[in-house]
A = this chain, B = another copy of it.
Amino acid sequence: MKKTEIRKPTIREVAKLARVGLMTVSRVINNHPSVRASTRKKVEAAIVQLGYQQNEAARLLKGQRARMIGLIVPDLSDQFFAACAHTVQHLARADGYMTLVVSSERDADLEFQQAELMASRKVSGLLIVTSTKAGDERLQALQDTGLAIVAFDRPLPGVDTDCVLVENRGGAEAAIAHLIQHGHKHIACVGYDEETYTVYERLQGYLSRIHGAKLKPQTAFGLSTLDDVRNWLTAALAGKNRPTAIFSVNHRTSIYLLQALSELKLRIPEDMALIGFDDFDLAAVLNPPLTTVAQSPVELARRAMGLLLAGIQGMQNGVSSSPAKILLPAKLMIRASCGPHEAQKS
């Protein structure tokens, strides 16, 4: 209630203290070259003395971009995306950016709407794991506005951006090869949401290997609940081409599978071999330890941020090189859910 409100110092007061004009201060702040070294010294001293900090609102009003980046993921409560968000935010901070995080709830419209909101807040860049199936030119418009955009985990259909992807297909192929090495002839592939890019790619990898080995593919998608999984499993076991191994392309499905298998008193790997896409910290603790295909969310996010920061630079300098595409490896983590190691000798 006192009259002595602690007003933040402005560029004006810095100028007064340094006995120079406003513009000189502004130039110093923005590292403009045409300032004599001695003058710059004075101004810098004044800045320190006053503890001056730029007022972002004023800069925004003049049309500059905020030192913020936006991150949009399908589901922030998902372990994988949470790890991405953590890394992104960490790296952003190191570069003086704050991070606006949004979960699109796998809704393409919401995703776009939020992207637009972020753009209107003048973020410098946008990192996005899209939930769009069809191409969405609307994002292209944002990019043309001078907003740097990087897609990761999934490409942005219809928009020509930098992107960082994982070798989903290769990872799946490695998994199936492993199963085949173990002598399996009936390998099922299950998951949900096969329209998602990553899942689709994994499915393609599965199919490619299965066909390559002249085996019969056996797939089931849309298995998004424990009940779904249980039902499918009992049906599959009763069917004629009873699978002896399952490749699960979604983390959630893997968990349900584990549960359903346990309920049905089926032993892993004796009665059923299992490989899950996406590693998780408990995989090694399970009984038996689960063989998985691992991808690194940290590396994914790190590379994406690298591209984004470069993109922001590029936008500022008006440089626009052709979009970079990075492909990260997926690694098969061989544990015990496909049987003993020995079997590996074909």
Contact = CB atoms under 8 A, between A and B. Distances in A.
A89 B103 contact: yes
Looking at A56, A101, A255, which has the most chain B CB atoms within 10 Å of its CB?
A101
Contacts of A215: none
Contacts of A89: 76, 101-103
B103 A121 contact: no
A96 to B, nearest CB: 9
A284 interface: yes
Given A82-B79, A285-B259, A93 B98 contact: no
B79 A86 contact: no
A79 B76 contact: no
Given A61-B58, A82-B76, A282 B255 contact: yes
A258 interface: yes
Contacts of A281: 255
Contact of A117 (B87, B98, B258): B98
A56 B121 contact: yes
B98 A99 contact: no
Interface in A284-315: 284-287
A44 B110 CA distance: 24
A120 interface: yes
B102 A100 contact: no
Contact of A103 (B86, B98, B102, B118): B86
Contacts of A61: 55, 57-58, 61
A127 to B, nearest CB: 13
Nearest to A61: B57
Contact of A85 (B55, B101, B287): B101
Nearest to A123: B98
Interface string A75-106: 11111001101110110010000111111010
Interface in A53-71: 53, 55-58, 60-61, 68
Interface in A18-65: 53, 55-58, 60-61
A122 B57 contact: yes
A75 B87 CA distance: 10
A56 B117 CA distance: 11
14 contacts: A55-B61, A58-B61, A61-B61, A76-B89, A77-B85, A82-B85, A85-B85, A89-B102, A98-B102, A100-B101, A255-B281, A258-B282, A282-B286, A285-B286
Interface of A: 53, 55-58, 60-61, 68, 75-79, 82-83, 85-87, 89-90, 93, 98-103, 105, 114, 117-118, 120-122, 255, 258-259, 262, 281-282, 284-287
Given A56-B60, A85-B85, A93-B102, 7 more contacts: A57-B122, A75-B86, A77-B82, A86-B103, A98-B121, A99-B100, A258-B285
